[in-house]
Amino acid sequence: MSGAGAFPLGAATTLAELARDPHPRLALLRAREPVSWVPELGAWLVTRRDLALEVMRDAGAFTVDDPRFSTARVVGPSMLSLDGDEHTRHREPFTAPFRPRAVHDGFAAFIEGEADRLVSTLRPVGAGDVRRAFAGPLAVAVVTEALGLVGTTAATVLSWYDAIVRSVSDITAGHEPSAAGTAAYARLRAAVDATVAGSGTASLLGAAAVRLTPSEVASNAAVLMFGGIETTEGMITNALLHLLGNHDQLALVRADSSLLDAAIEESLRLEPGAAVVDRYATRDAVLGPVAVRRGDLVVVSLAGANRDPAVFPAPDRFDVRRDNARLQLAFAHGPHYCLAAHLARLETRIALKHLLERLPALRLDPARPAAPEGLVFRKPPALHVLWDVEGADDAEDGADVGTGQELSR
């Protein structure tokens, strides 16, 4: 593969830099090497938005269906790791329940109840890590509800998720999958089988089983679990960090509840929960200024594309009045656009509403600063915040971020 002479910026790019604070490096690459060979990734890194779209739209030339795809090695083929007709067959049984109206009707009341319960526990304390004490538990509870697994709890689902993700990470790092991950997936598969047997077509998984084999239902359940927990927890946490870290923008949202959706889109643009997506070239292809060879790994930087100044003026600024923030690519694009994007948006909207309305004078803890980190999934390791306990019981009376009905549409 071409070396440092052809792609000096790519050759100087480190995984540590991309995990810690990638945006300055991504800006340099986007301006001078928009498709760059990065030896530490062993891949082409795409940072310009138009080229990112080109890769994600063309599943014929840039596929996820490759033996190196680590998630498939743990949970088997799924909508995440297939393309073409097989991808469609795996995805279609899950499409209808995640359309906007079905999401609202099926999940809004549950999310409201869980958010209320979690905030009610937090309110008397006056301080906490809202990632661990709120965003994470909410995401796990919603996934558990969505899957409807028989005989499980949110804590059980979280334990399976943690073990399976560790196994996927081991493979990505070049190791064999862990025994714990294999065992966790076996327990998930057993719970899926029991749910399908007991619910008929009444549940999400039971309905999918009409068209998919039991192993395929389980693989896709695992994929839904990944997306519903990892990226949604990051989405909620990052959005709150951006709002509390930009007082002028928070004031705009407090004054006009209709801006909350715009704030969520702008946060997704500025720091997508999943920073990259992987594709594999199925044939020799020209991508922008670069000739990509068949079999090459092509890593699309959603984080880089989302700050492309050709599309987003002043791209490093958090601006809840940005008129094109919904052009962000945090949910990817093309045939692998996130199936549960509407659910993630609804969950984040309700989560922020409860936090901002019911925790008076909510603010970042200045003694414990936070910043997103991570090579693939980006969020703060913790988000410590403070709020006023005195007057918390009256918080709803003075709420100024809109009603639950307004924000759940």
pLDDT tens by residue, the chain, 409 residues? 544 579 999 999 999 999 999 999 999 999 999 999 999 999 999 999 999 999 999 999 999 999 999 889 899 999 999 999 999 999 999 999 999 999 999 999 999 999 999 999 999 999 999 999 999 999 999 999 999 998 899 999 999 999 998 898 888 777 888 899 999 999 999 999 999 999 888 899 999 999 999 999 999 999 999 889 999 999 999 999 999 999 999 999 999 999 999 999 999 999 999 999 999 999 999 999 999 999 999 999 999 999 999 999 999 999 999 999 999 999 999 999 999 999 999 999 999 999 999 999 999 999 999 999 999 999 999 999 999 997 655 545 544 454 333 333 2
Residue at 1 is within a domain: no
Q: What is the pLDDT of residue 177?
A: 83
Residue at 383 is within a domain: yes
Among 314, 316, 234, residue whose Cα is nearest residue 26: 316
Residue at 240 is within a domain: yes
Q: What is the pLDDT of residue 403?
A: 33
Residue at 324 is within a domain: yes
Residue at 142 is within a domain: yes
CA 201 – CA 208 distance, rounded (Å): 8
Domain coverage including residue 383? 8-407
Q: What is the pLDDT of residue 390?
A: 77
Residue at 381 is within a domain: yes
Contacts of 357 (CB under 8 A, 6+ apart): 395, 396, 399, 400, 401
Domain harbouring 220, CATH code: 1.10.630.10
What are the angstrom distances between the C-alpha of 42 and each of 2, 199, 299, 375?
11, 45, 9, 14
What are the angstrom distances between the C-alpha of 124 and each of 5, 119, 128, 252, 392?
59, 9, 11, 27, 8
Residue at 2 is within a domain: no
Q: What is the pLDDT of residue 402?
A: 44
- C-beta separation of 200 from 218 below 8 A: no
| 97 DSSP 8-state letter | G
Q: What is the pLDDT of residue 338?
A: 97
How open is the CA angle 236-63-6, to the nearest 5 degrees? 90
Q: What is the pLDDT of residue 314?
A: 98
SS3 386: strand
Domain total of the chain: 1
Residue at 81 is within a domain: yes
Q: Tokens 């409807």, residue?
A: 148
